[in-house]
């Protein structure tokens, strides 16, 4: 156990830097915050570099005793409430956060699943985190992100994923077109979501398909649409023409679930 009393301590400075993507990329680490996420990280046996605990939260009993016993097995740092608030990314901190080492289950895409979920420029961190959670909920094990997507290790993405980030292989493509061409070579068809089609999610055969979810404002990019084998849309009875990216993903994936359990 280590006690830090100065906000100028090098460890505290480095944790603060992890709020920025460039430092997360440089160090290969990211922050998780809150009781639930730290518990999930321990359960999923992820690589925990260090755990930071607010001294006040330890003494007032707001952190469960069984969690306190568990975190004692790790590299724990105790700080004052003021220092903890300076490194926290939320308005009402729960007094515990951890620094996690990034890891990838596999560098390559696994072609053992019925469908692949590919995100093309999804930029809102809340949307991305919710999509990760939804993908995990349908028991898929991977997701592919284009270079223009939000950083999956952004604190808001991590919180929104509710622990799903620990269970998914997040493949960050450097060139989405080349990645999709490789997917095609592995006998998957590319299916793009688009308003410019009469085909819909209820007529799609959910077998060996890579389903592309596009950018919140502009949808799937022109380059991706051009190499897609099929285009689908979600039928809507009202006047609204499009849905939030995370909502659309949920609707599509749960049609896949319905087929699986039918």
Give all strands of the β-sheet with 96-101 in edge-to-edge order: 2-4, 76-79, 48-54, 96-101, 29-33
Euclidean distance between the first and the last CA atom of the chain, given in angstroms as a whole number: 53
Rg (CA), the chain: 21
CATH of 2-101, one of 1.10.260.40, 1.10.1420.10, 1.10.4030.10, 3.30.1330.30: 3.30.1330.30
Secondary structure letter of residue 165 according to DSSP: G
Secondary structure letter of residue 238 according to DSSP: S
161-170 burial code (b ≥16 CB/10 A, e <16): bbbbbbbbbb
Q: What is the pLDDT of residue 243?
A: 84
Mean pLDDT by 10 residues, the chain (262 residues): 86 96 96 96 96 83 88 94 93 94 78 97 97 98 96 96 95 96 97 93 96 94 96 92 91 96 84
Homologous superfamily assigned to 115-261:
SPOUT methyltransferase, trefoil knot domain (3.40.1280.10)
For the chain, what are the domain ranges?
A: 2-101, 115-261
* Consecutive H or E run containing 47: none
Kindly give the residue spans of alpha helices, DSSP state H, lying in the chain: 10-17, 21-27, 35-43, 55-59, 65-71, 81-87, 125-137, 155-161, 176-185, 222-227, 245-261
Angle between helices 245-261 and 125-137 (to 10 degrees): 10
Name the β-bridge partners of 143: 170
Q: H/E/C letters for each residue in 92-116?
A: CCCCEEEEEECCCCCCCCCCCCCEE
Side-chain-side CA neighbours of residue 60 (13 Å): 9
Say if residues 216 and 149 touch (Cβ distance below 8 Å). Answer: no
Collapse the DSSP code of 144 into the 3-class scheme (helix H, G, I; strand E, B; otherwise coil) and give the result. Answer: strand
Name the β-bridge partners of 200: 233
């Amino acid at each position: 156990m280590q006690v830090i009393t100065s906000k100028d301590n090098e460890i505290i400075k480095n944790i603060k830097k992890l709020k920025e993507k460039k430092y997360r990329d440089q160090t290969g680490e990211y922050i998780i915050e809150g009781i639930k996420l730290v518990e999930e990280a321990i359960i999923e046996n992820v690589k925990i570099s260090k755990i930071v605990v607010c001294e006040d939260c330890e003494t007032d009993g707001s952190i469960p005793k069984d969690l306190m016993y568990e975190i004692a097995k790790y590299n724990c740092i105790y700080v004052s409430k003021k220092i903890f608030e300076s490194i926290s990314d939320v308005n009402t901190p729960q007094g515990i956060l951890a620094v996690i080492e990034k890891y990838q289950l596999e560098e390559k895409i696994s072609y053992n699943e019925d469908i692949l979920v590919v995100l093309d420029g999804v930029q809102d961190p809340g949307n991305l985190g919710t999509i990760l959670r939804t993908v995990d909920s349908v028991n898929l094990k991977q997701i592919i992100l284009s270079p223009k997507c939000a950083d999956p290790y952004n604190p808001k993405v991590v919180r929104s994923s509710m622990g799903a980030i620990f269970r998914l292989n997040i493949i960050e493509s450097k060139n989405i077109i080349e990645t999709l061409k490789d997917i095609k070579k592995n006998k998957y068809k590319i299916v793009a979501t688009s308003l410019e089609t009469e085909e819909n999610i209820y007529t799609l055969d959910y077998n060996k398909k890579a389903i592309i979810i596009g950018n919140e404002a502009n949808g799937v990019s022109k380059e991706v649409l051009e190499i897609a084998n099929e285009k689908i849309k979600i039928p809507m009875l009202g006047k609204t023409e499009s849905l939030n990216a995370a909502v659309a993903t949920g609707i599509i994936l749960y049609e896949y679930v319905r087929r699986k359990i039918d």
